[in-house]
Chain A
Amino acid sequence: MCQMHHQQAGEVRTNVGVSEFVEELVVAITSIRVYWHEHPRVQTSLETLVEGLEELLERMDTQQLDLGASEGYLFVGKRPLLGASLAAARILEPLDIIGSGGISFRRGAAISDFVPLMQLLSRKRLEDIDVESANGFLESERCTAISCLPPFRRGRGDSPIADEVVDVLGTREFQRESDNLFALDIPVRMYQEVVDHMQSAMVSVCSGEGLDLDATKGHVETILRKIEDDPKAALSMSRYEQYDAFTFGHSIRVCMFALSFARAMHLEPELVNRIGAAALLHDVGKARVPFEVLHSTGRLSDDERREMSRHAVHGAEILLEMDSSDPLAIAAAFGHHRTMAGGYPATLHTPTLSTATSIVKICDVYEALTAVRPYKDRMSPMRAFRIMMSMNDHFDPKLLRKFMQVTGIYPIGSRVRLSNGEIARVFSQTSIVDRPTVDVEELTNGEPYARDQQRRVDLSSDDSVSVDELLLGAEMS
């Protein structure tokens, strides 16, 4: 029987808190680009930041939180925040431009301190600003509890960034630590760029401007190339389960699954791209759903449910308002919640779902079931598949079967424990859904094999060993 291995608590607790704090920073920066800083939504984010910082400092028993920034990562306590960094391009990029090594938050920081920081980080032009002038701006705005850190320099020792970690990150060879996600080798830069693109798309929609569809297609092509060149790394992105405030991660993961599925169906490359773009944009309508509904963690009222459902219509409208948008993407945005029998949005005519829309729908539901959410437990792929099979009329059974075969119950890139105790990483799916091809990487005691000792095993043709357990660790903590 397959079992799941849950993440450990304790040691990662502090960094989980910091990750949430960083995520809230990203939310605040994004919100202030859409609304104005006195808008209730922005004010709520800022209040959350103030409270969150206070709580963190209390827990860490310190007066100051230094958030380091280097090589595309955020650091705290000399450890990189891999997960938080993925969605933090809007923090990292401005700090990089002004040459700052991070941000320092001191106890007692109030909303009035965060506002100038947000304004600084959301500025369009930063080329003529350096650390000194940035801090000068903050001081002039009476921001006394937050400042920009000097640039990171190796050997200084006073930075929140560890020299050796930066060296490792710089060469992109990750030193593995237990249950931590260095080993996932997620293409961080690519993910950051896509998230940044999705954030910008949301801001554009909220501001009434058009989407940059060419950039969307470009990102889809990049992801597709990555899937072709390095499927393990690329599909690792699909297993990054961190919940993000604006559900960009969800759209990216759905895109990954859809591209992988479409490729496996041997579709024309152009069509694969179109399906990928449709998947990336299928939830773009959520930009028009009130924030309070979108991120409600309690049971939705009838009004709120109706409001949420409308994102499918909103998404199709947003795309339809642009001359260059793909009809396939419009149909997918509109119909990805519909079933063979109907469903929302209700139309006068009987719905017909194309294969393309059906692909997006399957990937959307699968991602929603298997991803982490603050309001639900994670679910194993097998359990998710069984639920999907029980949802009559929702999916074309042939497509669903194919999707399960392509995705497998042990996703590509995931770590598994074999029946002989060894730890392996899934390399590819085979015709038998629970017997993939794996790369055996670790001994039974967890020690890694030397490179020349690692071996690849096709479990579909090797009866002597099987997968015992899917390891869903604290991969992105």
Chain B
Amino acid sequence: MNPTPQQSHLTSDVPLAAQLVERFADFVKSFAIYPENNGRVQANLAALLEKLQAGFGDEDCAPKGTINISLHPGNIRVGRVGVELRSGTNLDWLRSRLVRSLLSGLKIDSGVNAQSVVEFTRQLLEQYTRDQLDQEFEQLWQEAFEGIELLHRLFDGMFTLDELDDNGSGDGREGDGGSLSLDLESRARLVEELCEREGIRSRLDHLGALAEQAGQTAQIGDRHGIDIIGRIARLLPVEVMNDPAAIMKIIMAALDQVTETLEESEEGPEPIADSDLSKLLFAARHHLFGREGVAACAAAEKLRESAERSKPGLRPGHARDAEIVDDIDLFRADISKLPPLDDHEFERDLVLTTEQVGVLMHFLVNWESKRSRTLYGRLVELLQEPGQREIELIGTYLARPVEDDSEEAWNDWRHRHGRTSQFLAANDLAWMVREAGALDPEDVVERFPEDFTLFLHTLRAGDAQDGRTLGEICQRVGVAALDEACPLLADRDSLMLHGLPQRILSWPLQETLPIARTFLTKGGPEARPPVVAYLRSLGLDLPEACLLRVFRDPMEISEKYLVGFMQILLTGQWRKLSEMHPSPPTPLSRHISREIVRYARDNEGDPAAVGRVAYAIKFLSRFRTEDSTTLLRELAGNRFTQFLSRVPASIRDAAREVLKVY
């Protein structure tokens, strides 16, 4: 898959709408692989912005002044123009990202700029790797992006709500070939029959009970549920009649959501707005109208044409029947050629783990991820003590295409590799990736930053060889590239899984500083202890490093200080500091000195902290800054005298020694 603009964009025959959306896909794809300031990404971004500007002035792209990009079955529409979605292309890849973030499209106006595009894209890509799939739209998209309005992917079945008239017959969506819904009478009968189905009846009864609890009658609750069923029936196309399981699922899911809402409120059932019903149905829609559902409906529609049962006719029982005769002697001879079975021979393979792992892996990569949750637990259990065969099998799902170099083959690989590695990493099984030979250190360097996060997950805590390998890879990649890529490696949840910071930072490798910084900035307070421990372990002979020893509790060190400290290390400024001498007094980083002052003041009256405070003072005394001077004067004054009066004599003397400098 090539994230650069494809050649087809450059021909003038291609409509602007197609060029625009393909530029969009190219940009997002490149951003997924390279950091923001990478040349390729910047070039794609510039190309996208150029097309957007052109689009604002184009009547087809922006008939009302804004550019609407929306998803439709089989195509992406830009304004009035539909751009075909072909499987395996960047556009298809983009579509999957939008869908997973609950977006049906975007509305872009002339206020859009590079920053808003980058921020939107960053969030889009981060969300794709998230594990939680049951978040609401509002939870996912909390920020606003200038010039970009997000369109929620509401339930729309085979046609949108506003295309239905009161009789319930719709013309279907423009360009989709249309699909009629059930007529009034059929719909009424369907609703009546559905209400008698056990799973639905029990839910309607429950709604009635909730209504009664809220002081209404049971009939009101019942009618509320029936109203919802009726409105869903209005949205269903006739093809769905061949998939009763899907109808049941959708209705039960809708009723469950309504029930859940009512249980949390004290109010009784209230009329539900169309838009809310749509949102409610969206959660269940993919069972019916996901790719499989639509295909299933289409297949059933085709087969429905031959609903007549024809009379059976005889035909031979088997292709080889004619040539096989009933001869007992031949039969005995055939049997004797077969090897006999020792009764215990098959005990080992009776219930084969490899077979089961294979089946579950097949579904892991081929099922929609929500359904996959049901098999995660089983697969984890089977892989607790995997044998060589299971590891090899896992390797099969991670292996790159060898003979087939097509875009489709590579996309397929990315998909299954992503699913498999995500599963393994999430369940502390990433080590299998290397065991299976699917992740060679050379590959990690060559394809950096791809696979780097996965590689980190494969490392075993305390393993010296793993530590060496990590160090070598970071060296070869280089600090600059590592520093650039680390912030984009993965989201917080993935980085903090299974004690990854503790593992990676257990080796005192300066090369891993960018990784440590990423842990800290993304992992928050949880990451601070292992980061501090790591920094301490580096054994840096630096003034700033001394501070790490002053604070025994890593949570006492502010994140800001640590980030700043690591920044100094990364940018090389530490060299300058190490060459400095205490006198003449040299300016100390302001924020560092403030940190020390804050610490000293906060712990002033604490006998347990006296030693550390003294140490801090000693440290501070090496540098003369405005803050340190002020503090030391205070300490030298009355406050310090009061302080000293409470400490043991040895401490007192030590402190006075220090203050002699001043």
Contacts and interface: CB of A to CB of B under 8 A. Distances in A.
Interface of A: 1-3, 34-41, 44, 48, 124, 205-209, 265-267, 271, 274, 288, 290, 292-293, 295, 297-298, 303-304, 307, 316-317, 320-321, 323, 327-328, 330-331, 334-335, 345, 347-357, 369, 373-380, 382-383, 385-387, 389-390, 397-402, 404, 409, 433-434
A433 B338 CA distance: 14
B360 to A, nearest CB: 8
A398 B339 contact: yes
A320 B318 CA distance: 33
A352 B309 contact: no
B249 A208 contact: yes
B303 interface: yes
Contacts of B338: 389, 397-398, 400-401
Contacts of A206: 244-245
A352 B354 CA distance: 7
B324 A348 contact: no
Interface string B231-254: 000000000011011101100100
B359 interface: yes
A386 B334 contact: yes
A1 B355 contact: no
A386 B331 contact: yes
Given A36-B189, A207-B197, A348-B362, 8 more contacts: A1-B326, A44-B308, A331-B355, A348-B365, A351-B358, A369-B318, A373-B312, A389-B335
B351 A271 contact: yes
Interface size range of chain B in the complex: 35 or more
Interface string B190-231: 100100011100000000000000000000000000000000
Nearest to A262: B350
B356 A331 contact: yes
Contact of B313 (A290, A297, A320, A399): A297
A143 B68 CA distance: 58
Interface stretch (B389-397, B422-430, B490-498, B549-557): B389-397
Given A208-B249, A386-B331, A290 B354 contact: no
Given A207-B199, A375-B312, A382 B331 contact: yes
Contacts of A292: 303-304, 306-307
Contacts, number: 212
Nearest to B345: A398
Contacts of A399: 341, 346
Given A206-B245, A354-B351, A386 B330 contact: yes
Contacts of A402: 341
B363 A316 contact: yes
Contact of B309 (A39, A48, A355, A400): A48
Contacts of A207: 197, 199, 244-245, 248
Contacts of B660: none
B244 A208 contact: yes
B246 A208 contact: yes
Contacts of A355: 346, 349-352
A348 B363 CA distance: 11
A112 to B, nearest CB: 15
A383 B190 contact: no
Interface string B346-375: 100111101110111111010100010011
A334 B303 contact: no
B313 A375 contact: yes
Nearest to B242: A290
Most buried by A among B314, B320, B356: B356
B339 A397 contact: yes
